[in-house]
Structure formats: C-alpha cells, structure tokens
Amino acid sequence: MALGIGLIFGIMRLINFAHGEMVMAGGYAMALLVTLPAPLVILAAIIIVVSLALTIEKIAFRPLRGNDPATLLVASFTVSYFLQNVALMIFGGRPLPFTFAPGLSEIYEFAGLRVPLLQFVSLGLTVFALVGLALVLKRTSIGIQLRAAAEDVVTARLSGIRVNRVIALAFALSAVLAWVVSLIYSAQIGQISPTMGVRPLIIGFVATILGGLGSLAGAALGGFVVGVVSVLLEIFLPAETRPFREAFLFGIVFLMLVIRPEGLVRVRALQERV
C-alpha cells in the first residue's frame, strides 16, 4: 500500500487518497468474476483496476496537473468519495462475504509454530512486488524516465520525456500494487465492502510518511516498521488495551516524526536547493 502511494507522490507530489478505492475495486472485480478459473480472475481483475486508475488519471488529475497541491489533494478526496458512493449504490452498504482462495486459510506447523498459508503468500507477493518494481525502476528505460520525472517533471519534459505516458504508467503500476493489497486484505478479513480500502489506505499513508514521502525505499521501510511495531504492540499490550492498538501505533509514529520529521529516508528532490 505504501509503495503505491509513494510511487504517485514521487512523480506528481499528489497524495492519492483514491488509492484505497483501487483496493476496493480489485476486491469487487474478483468477487464478480470468481466463477472463472483463477488465472482468468486474476488477469481480469488487474485489467479492471488498471483501467479504472488510468481513467481517473486522465479525467480527474491530468486537467489539474500543475495546480496547487491542495487542489490535487481535494480532487483525490473527491474521487475517493465518488467511487465509494458508486460502489454503495451498486452493491449496497452491507459487507459481502468473499474468499478468493479458501485454501489460504490452511494452517501449517513449523517447529511448534502454527502459521496460516496466507502469511507466506502475503510475504511472497510483497517481496515479488518490491523486487519487481525495483527492477523496473533500475533496469528499464521507462524506469529511468519514471525516476527522472520524480526528480523534476519540468526538466524531464524539456529532455523529451513524454510525461503524460510516464504518469499514466505510474498510475497503472500503483493500481497493480493496489490489486495485490485487495487480494491479501480480502483474504484476511473474508469480506468486501465499499469502504474496505479506507483502513489500509490510512495505515499505508502513515507508513509512507514515516519512511519519507517521495521515496519508494522509504515507503517499503516505513511499511515494515509499521508492521513490526504493530505486531510488537499486539504481543506486549495488556489484553484490555489491544483493541486500541492503532492509537498506540500512531502515537509512536508521531513521536518518531517529531524526532525526524523528514522521515526515515531523505528525498533529495524535496530538499531546497540554494
């Protein structure tokens, strides 16, 4: 989730709050197509989510490009609220039970530890997404263009880079990452709803800020730090305070940002040049 948010911010300086609705769209797409063979469900869901992301970029964000960041922020809130209400009108507000792969809930035992298969799948998909995105950014020409646009959009455009295509690709990549989240998250909670993307969006946003806005390495690091702190709180908090775990989590993140407000990874492109 943090990678998808950080990717768009790195290029457009846009905190895309509609990213949560990409997760929601992925969940509903898989639910509607669940009768098809699993590979077709995955392929079709990714195509639907990517198409939705590209449509949003072209209709909602491209006309506002170059405006004040506050305008883009309001636009992202508007798109998020609009998509939530469209889903509400079509599917209703009641959560629908959904499990794409029931076998993911199977428990495996290793050295006395009982671990759900979903945990291994989640780890594998996360590592695959992280390594794949790193290879695209470091080893391909389009990745170099993405990094150039993240560094300075104006200079990239003057250098002959087709910025519209680069930004559209960034939205497509973030949509694929959102689909990965929708697969894992819907399997964890066992249901889908119009607001299912809100909670992971907030946690992913916190992780992105903690790692350093505009840095994909920082986003990944921030995500792992938030995950580790969350698990440690689950272990050490008294039972009666565990329902408020996220309040403690955000409090700890706030203290970390007071100490290092730029995040764990400094982004050179966001530093003032003299």
Alpha carbon distances (Å) from 151 to 138, 144, 172, 224, 274: 14, 11, 19, 25, 16
Domain limits, the chain: 2-95+117-270
Distance CA 99, CA 249 (A): 29
pTM of the model: 0.88
Residue 17's Cα: distance from chain center in Å?
10
* 94-106 mean pLDDT: 81
The domain 2-95+117-270 is placed in CATH, from the list 1.10.10, 1.10.3470, 3.30.1360, 1.10.3210, at: 1.10.3470
**43-87 pLDDT per residue, tens:** 999 999 999 999 999 999 988 887 888 888 899 999 999 999 999
* 99-118 mean pLDDT: 79
